[in-house]
Amino acid sequence: MSAARNKALETLYYTGRVSFAGRSTGWSTRDRLTGYVAFPFAILFFLGSFGTIFQETDTRMQMLKAAALCLASAGLLYGVGSLVVQSWHHRRVQRQPVLIDERGLTLCGHGPIPWWCLQLAERKKVRLKYAESDVTRDVIALTLAGSRMLDQQLTEKQRKALVPDHTTDSLIFLFVPGVKGLKAREFMEVYNAAHDRYAPA
């Protein structure tokens, strides 16, 4: 048990609230696909297409191929660039403060999410987009009423920040947020202590 975890529990016990600096939980599956597949493919496409231009002896055909290459490269780079910007935005949102108090849980710039919307945090297998099979993640399951409320309130950007690789139309869980100074397991202990204290029976 770390000193930071004990201090967080003590703060929660005496003040009824505890806050943390948010920390990005890392790259989602889509982010990794963008970084490891899409971006290198864009570079190879450009280099390969550029080489074919000089194989053409007809000057007019060279100009047409060059124009087509510029348009295709611009479109491809725009698409890859958009994914990179979105990934950067998601990680920036995840670094916003995380607050636990009597009102509920605030994370990723959204909240407080009331306690009646939230269940205990646990490590379980969940299905994520782009994953071939279920993966084990630290999650906070939502109650049925909480799922309905967040589906109505959250924008698509907020949904992707809370659960980047969510697969279903209805939000049924949140990823346990990353916080500075605590491991995921330690944060879950603090969160669950607050849940036991504030969540309706």
Every domain of the chain and the residues it spans: 3-22+96-198, 30-92
Angle at 129 between CA 123 and CA 131, to 5 degrees: 75
Q: What pLDDT does residue 168 have?
A: 60
pLDDT-derived band at 183, boundaries 50, 70, 90:
very high
pTM of the model: 0.69
pLDDT tens-digit readout, 136-173: 889 999 999 999 998 888 887 777 777 766 556 678 88
Two structure tokens written together for 201: 């029976």
* Whole-number Å distance between alpha carbons of 3 and 77: 47
pLDDT tens-digit readout, 81-112: 655 555 555 666 677 899 999 999 998 888 89
**Cβ neighbours for 65, distance < 8 A, ≥ 6 positions apart:** 49, 52, 53, 56
* Whole-number Å distance between alpha carbons of 11 and 31: 36
**Cβ neighbours for 55, distance < 8 A, ≥ 6 positions apart:** none
* Whole-number Å distance between alpha carbons of 2 and 121: 19
Q: What pLDDT does residue 22 have?
A: 83
Q: What pLDDT does residue 173 have?
A: 86
pLDDT-derived band at 198, boundaries 50, 70, 90:
very high
* Whole-number Å distance between alpha carbons of 138 and 111: 20
Two structure tokens written together for 108: 């990723």
